[in-house]
Structure 1
Amino acid sequence: MKTLVIIFLNFVVTCKYICGYEILAIFPHSARSHHIYFTPLVEELATKRHNVTVINYHPVQKQPFLRQISLQDRQNASACVDIEKRMQVLSVSDFSLAYATAQVFKNIANTNCQKLMKNREVQDLIRSRAHFDLVIVEQFVTDCGLAVAYKLNAPAIGIAAHILSPWTYSRLGAPNNPAYVPNHFFGSGTKPDLFNRIKSVLINFGMNMYYTHVIQRSDQEIVNAVYPDTPLLEDLGKNMSLIMINQYFTLTSPRLYSSNVVEVGGMHINPNYPIEDKSLINFLDSVSNGVVYISFGSVASNFPPRITNEIRRFVEKSNMRFIWKSEITDWVPPSNVFVGKWMPQAAVLCHPKVVGFISHSGMLSTSEAMHCGVPIISVPLFGEQFANGKSAVESGLGVSLDILTLNAQVLEEALQTILKEQYQKKAKELSQLWKDRPLSPMETAIFWIEYVARNKGAVNLKPPTVDMPLYQYLMIDVAFIIASSVVITFYISVKVLSLVLIAVFGKHKLKRKKVD
């Protein structure tokens, strides 16, 4: 009997490491760039024999231990961005840009939340009370995935395909100091002047208020309509064990984070991904003086004709060779340009003959440029791309252009800048720093996922600042007591001194009167 018990216990312990954990991953945003970042993670978890269920929009590779619940919408959210309207907003002010972005975020958040909450398979999953050791929830503009984790009574960790959003700092107990933390929505950088610090404070405050009182409140109504017992989404956010973010200090500069914030920038990059298109390989092999890669992501399909025509003029007049990811069909490219609707971007950028990259400065593209050691020309359009572009400039990875003044001449001047030896050399140095880590980004992500699952939510990672009142966090009460003490002490000292002086000089005057 003892032998059977020992065998059973050994099986249970061994199975925990061989069979892995039950993991649910919720990615409710349909942007393809987010899918590109998250998918390698769930596939790697499944490869390590964790039982992974992923809720998302885009299909994942079929393999053992990986199950998908589709949200049944293959539309790419990034491809729906109206570039003309964005350019009109960009021409007004950063405040108008932030407000317009907030409105877009609300529409995205409410749409994503409704599709997640009303999905039959998701409801069946919650109804079944399936056991999960951990739920991985995308942290973009909605917290509705955290409601699913709550209903399943499972610990949750967040993951973001971009830099940390301004409304996420407080729930993590992390400082978002505009004196050195770049603003998410405009290129303030790590050393902003007084005006940009003021602007950053106002935009952060406005965005946080809008997220809490508009976006999150409307999402709360959507969630409570289906699951009335769900607590406040803000409270669920504070209960996340940790968050993994797509940034790394070599690019975005060092930040003050606690142990519940993990940088896994570049997690999606597969250094061994091959270039299989033979025509693309032949084009690269024929290059003698370097090639420049151009890609503006999915939003390029919505570029106004003026921008597309300026890029055409630029590549036609240049003596460089170009690989351009584009869906244009009404143009016959010259011999120095290779055009394709899809490119293995990281593989292209890491090719030894690629010497420059023209991009919208999404975080995936910017991190790939740094990983491969290729200088970048950033043309930010939306969201955190302005911060990414500024990070590239400050790190020395490249230059940043304003899309409102973009033309062939501006592009040519920027290209000549990044082709200089100082930029080429700096990009290679940054690439070495980017790769010099104790663990790869993927290994880091896997470790912390398993750590939280292994330690039943790892509540030890939660810093006390998460639940600390703002007045206490900023030590306003301490400052008030000290200031009050100084004022009271000064007041008493003045009063005592005046009484002493009156007593002394008053007696002296009295004696003089008696003498007289």
Structure 2
Amino acid sequence: MVLSSLVIISSSKSTLVHNGSPNFSNTENKKLNILAALFTSSGSHFAFFKPLLEELARRGHNLTVLSYNPRKNNNIDANVLPNYNDVLLTDPKFIGENVINLQEKPVDSYFINFDNIFRMRHFGLTYCEMTLNNPEVRQLIKSDQKFDLIFMETFCGDCALGFVHKFQAPFIALSSHEIMPWINDRLGNPDNPSFIPEFFKLHAGPMNFMQRVLNTLSLLADKLAYEIGYTGPHQKLVDDAFGPGVPPLNEIAKNTSALLVNTHYSIHGSRPYVPNVIEVGGMHIGKPKPLPDDIKKFLDDSPEGVLLFSWGSMVNASSMLQVKLDAMLNVFSEVPRKVILKWESDELPRKLKNVMIKKWLPQFDIMSE
């Protein structure tokens, strides 16, 4: 439903910008030129964006996609969607998989937010610098190409807003997770810390008075850290790449036409949203694909069911502290069913008959079996 609405929006034949805002009054068919600036290397982030972009291409729109996850590197024939143009931002080996070392994570505390924020700051500046130094991206910046719509990811920086200034097109923000703390203000979206847990979830669910106070302080600290640590360095990189005259990025951000966020109230809890913040949780879920033979046999031979254990694409589970690994394996050995575990090494330190390890798991396909 959301995709259909978006495609109707994007099919406007009239001018798309009117007094600084999108003008979508005419819904006659038109093939748009769309730029997608997706600067996070994580494959799990891109998995959320990919179905939307491919469907728009299937419907005839012309897409230029700046990403670390090009379709041609995923054994997809480029001729299938010739109007989907990939721009690879860096070496495909630089993908954000298995990059979080569990031994480096601090003990859960009120200070963990600062570790997360500065870790994301490093990622954001790295992605931004590599992107804007990419030869194809530099050529795009210097070109006279026209775009009718821009998609950009909201995660660890606003580097992509330079393209909004350059091409003077309306833009839609995409979030593959809950809304980052610094995004709500630019959309006028309610973000009341007295009952809405901040992004890093020091507390979830009903909070007592002291928890509300700490939640409020944490939210303010997140926004302050972003303003001090992110905005200036990203502005400098954008100014260097796009030349003088780029307005403050936080001013450009206030012109966000809409935000599509990968959440759903049934999982993340209910909260108020302004009309242009749209929950599209599950948009990336399609039809399951056939499983590899070994995984299928493992599941078929398990009438009692199988426990799937995975921390996703970015956490390196094999970096777990030995004491925690021993505790986890002890539980697995006592579970009265088989376990399939995402594990980045070739072997487990302790071999268990009921455990299958894989460096990568088709999670959705497994759960659909």
**1:17: how far off?**
6.2
**1:59: how far off?**
2.1
Q: What pairs with 1:146-225 in structure 2 (closer than 5 Å)?
A: 146-225=161-240
Query: Are 2:349 and 1:338 equivalent residues in the alignment?
Result: no
The corresponding residue for 2:63 is 52
The corresponding residue for 1:77 is 96
The corresponding residue for 2:328 is 311
The corresponding residue for 2:40 is 29
The corresponding residue for 1:320 is 337
**Mapped partners of 1:288, 1:70: distance in 2:** 44
**Mapped partners of 2:302, 2:66: distance in 1:** 43
**Mapped partners of 1:166, 1:194: distance in 2:** 21
The corresponding residue for 1:427 is none
Amino acid in the other structure paired with 1:325 = K
**1:19: how far off?**
6.0
3-state DSSP of counterpart to 1:184:
coil
**Mapped partners of 1:252, 1:262: distance in 2:** 14
The corresponding residue for 1:102 is 117
Provide, for residues 230-267 of structure 1, a one-character-per-residue CA deviation record: whole Å limited to 9, x for no partner: 11110111011111111011111221111110111111
**Mapped partners of 1:305, 1:142: distance in 2:** 35
Alignment equivalent of 2:312, drawn from 297, 310, 323? 297
**1:51: how far off?**
0.7
Please say if residues 333 and 339 of structure 1, whose CA atoms lie closer than 8 Å, have aligned partners that are also in contact.
no
**1:67: how far off?**
0.4
3-state DSSP of counterpart to 1:250:
helix
Provide, for residues 170-195 of structure 1, a one-character-per-residue CA deviation record: whole Å limited to 9, x for no partner: 10001111122122112422311111
Q: What pairs with 1:242-257 in structure 2 (closer than 5 Å)?
A: 242-257=258-273
Please say if residues 202 and 215 of structure 2, whose CA atoms lie closer than 8 Å, have aligned partners that are also in contact.
no
**Mapped partners of 1:156, 1:117: distance in 2:** 19
The corresponding residue for 2:17 is none
The corresponding residue for 2:5 is none
Question: Against the structure 1 CA distance between its residues 79 and 228, is the aligned structure 2 distance closer, same or farther, given a 3 Å change threshold?
Answer: farther
Query: Are 2:281 and 1:265 equivalent residues in the alignment?
Result: yes
Please say if residues 24 and 54 of structure 1, whose CA atoms lie closer than 8 Å, have aligned partners that are also in contact.
yes
Query: Are 2:299 and 1:281 equivalent residues in the alignment?
Result: no
The corresponding residue for 1:41 is 52
Q: Which runs of 4+ in 1 moved over 4 A?
A: 16-19
Q: What pairs with 1:100-499 in structure 2 (closer than 5 Å)?
A: 100-226=115-241, 227-270=243-286, 272-298=287-313, 299=315, 300-331=317-348, 333-351=351-369
**Mapped partners of 2:185, 2:207: distance in 1:** 22
**1:350: how far off?**
2.4
**1:307: how far off?**
3.1
Question: Against the structure 1 CA distance between its residues 333 and 269, is the aligned structure 2 distance closer, same or farther, given a 3 Å change threshold?
Answer: farther
3-state DSSP of counterpart to 1:79:
coil
Superposition TM-score, scaled by structure 1 size: 0.62
Please say if residues 43 and 95 of structure 2, whose CA atoms lie closer than 8 Å, have aligned partners that are also in contact.
yes
3-state DSSP of counterpart to 2:66:
strand
Amino acid in the other structure paired with 2:104 = K
**Mapped partners of 2:202, 2:308: distance in 1:** 24
Provide, for residues 181-216 of structure 1, a one-character-per-residue CA deviation record: whole Å limited to 9, x for no partner: 122112422311111111111111111011012211
**1:305: how far off?**
3.4
**Mapped partners of 1:228, 1:315: distance in 2:** 59
Please say if residues 56 and 71 of structure 1, whose CA atoms lie closer than 8 Å, have aligned partners that are also in contact.
yes
3-state DSSP of counterpart to 2:160:
helix
**1:333: how far off?**
4.3
**1:27: how far off?**
0.6
3-state DSSP of counterpart to 2:53:
helix
Amino acid in the other structure paired with 2:198 = N
Provide, for residues 432-453 of structure 1, a one-character-per-residue CA deviation record: whole Å limited to 9, x for no partner: xxxxxxxxxxxxxxxxxxxxxx
**1:338: how far off?**
2.3
3-state DSSP of counterpart to 2:103:
helix
**Mapped partners of 1:17, 1:31: distance in 2:** 36
* Count of matched residue pairs: 333
3-state DSSP of counterpart to 2:98:
helix
Amino acid in the other structure paired with 1:310 = A
**Mapped partners of 1:121, 1:18: distance in 2:** 30
Structure with the larger RCO, 1 or 2 (CA within 8 Å, 6+ apart):
2
- Percent identity of the aligned residues? 29
3-state DSSP of counterpart to 1:64:
coil
Point out the structure with max Rg over C-alpha: 1
Please say if residues 30 and 73 of structure 1, whose CA atoms lie closer than 8 Å, have aligned partners that are also in contact.
no
**1:139: how far off?**
0.4
3-state DSSP of counterpart to 2:191:
coil
Amino acid in the other structure paired with 2:355 = V
Amino acid in the other structure paired with 1:90 = V
